[in-house]
A and B are shown apart, each in its own frame.
Chain A
Amino acid sequence: MLEYLKMDLWSPYVAGVGIGVLSILAFLLSDRPIGCSTAYARTSGMIERIFRGPKVSAKAYYRKFEPVVDWEVMLVIGIVIGSFFSASLSGSFRLETVPPLWADRFGPDPLLRVAAAFAGGVLMGMGARWAGGCTSGHGISGTLQLAASSWVAVIAFFVGGVATAMILFGAGG
């Protein structure tokens, strides 16, 4: 058992079925699907409120998604903890700013990597809220409910993602 937990990687099918079981548990125990991007919207609202005061909560978007710590914010905090456990057990935890594939293409400059990641993050944060969900909320929880919105969204995620990645890395390269 411990040997298994210490492994660097599991079969993607074991990890995937496990995530499927978690999404079933979320419906059963909490009457809700698993999602991540709303947590970022709420947290962003909480941070903005620190600087700009209670009027932030009156924004139309935050009346819909109140800036408070909820189930989903706890879920995202849990993801950081769970991943840290997994990486620590296998000894794969290490501070890394420039992933190897990025370094191969764009060089080892950490500032360039963080700037690109930040630009991507801003687009992703906007896009996720624009589409009403991310790879978890639409990509897994929504598609498994067979929601029309989620199938459209997940196809768009990957069309946009594949096209951009091919341009960045040179198609076929």
Chain B
Amino acid sequence: MEGMTEDTLKGLRSKRRAQLAVGLSIGIVFGFLLQKGGVTRYDVIVGQLLLADFTVFKVMASAVIAGMMGVHILRRLDLARLHPKPGSWGSSAVGGLIFGVGFALLGYCPGTAAGAVGQGSVDALLGGVGGILLGAGLFAAIYPRLEEKVLKKGDFGDATIPEILGVNPWMVVIPAALILIGLLFWIEGTGL
């Protein structure tokens, strides 16, 4: 039974056209949920950055809690592998701050900008999608010069927090979930 599940999954994961269909299907439901969650709206995203509306945090934190539990259970059952991204201070922190400045000016992120296009936001299409495409292209142009000098500064590789701490993943998963749930209760308590 277990072998069968594994073979079926392996088959599905290696079929290119089936994978494109899976990506599209997940995207359609993702876009639906982003729009229903309110986070494809400029006012909601900028409201979060002004710390006046915590919808974005609520959506992200509940996605992380559910996803974190589920993915770690699947991993325990040998049905999923982690794919943590490599990072460094020069890449994750510097790039993250540049992203943040853009985030406040644009008022959408790459995923929610696509969602905003679907609900009719012209600024998300012309400014958002157009700008992000140009920015990504500019990055590709300067990438060779940045790679050694900036992107590898303070490298911490693709380590996960449990690996860095040298503990069982559940020793981080459970406290992280509890902290996020605690923050959500606190935010609801303040009425934000």
Contact = CB atoms under 8 A, between A and B. Distances in A.
**A and B: interacting chains:** yes
A108 interface: no
A102 B121 CA distance: 13
Contact of B24 (A47, A75, A113): A75
B97 A117 contact: no
B93 interface: yes
Contacts of A126: 95, 98, 102, 135-136, 138-139
A37 to B, nearest CB: 5
6 contacts: A20-B63, A41-B140, A77-B27, A95-B122, A146-B160, A168-B104
Interface string A121-137: 11111111111111111
Contacts of A22: 26, 29-30, 33
Contacts of B35: 82-83, 86-87
B123 A99 contact: yes
Task: Give the one of A75, A78, A121 with max B CB within 10 A.
Answer: A121
Interface residues of A, number: 128
Nearest to A43: B133
How large, as a class, is the contact surface on chain B? 35 or more
B32 interface: yes
Given A125-B133, A148-B87, A156-B99, A114 B176 contact: no
Contacts of B1: none
Contacts of B146: 130
Contacts of A39: 110
B110 A128 contact: yes
Contacts, number: 547
Nearest to A12: B58
Interface in B1-58: 9, 12-13, 19-43, 46-47, 49-51, 55, 58
Given A120-B105, A131-B92, A10 B133 contact: no
A138 B102 CA distance: 16
- Judged by DSSP, the binding face of A is helix
Contacts of A27: 71, 74, 80-81
A156 B90 CA distance: 12
B131 interface: yes
B127 interface: yes
A167 to B, nearest CB: 8
A123 B101 contact: yes
A119 B131 contact: yes
Contacts of B47: 101
A134 B99 contact: yes
Given A79-B114, A132-B87, A116 B127 contact: yes
B20 A69 contact: yes
Contacts of B84: 142, 145-150
A47 B56 CA distance: 32
Given A79-B111, A159-B96, 9 more contacts: A15-B37, A20-B62, A82-B34, A82-B118, A119-B127, A124-B102, A148-B156, A149-B91, A149-B158
B182 interface: no
B28 A81 contact: yes
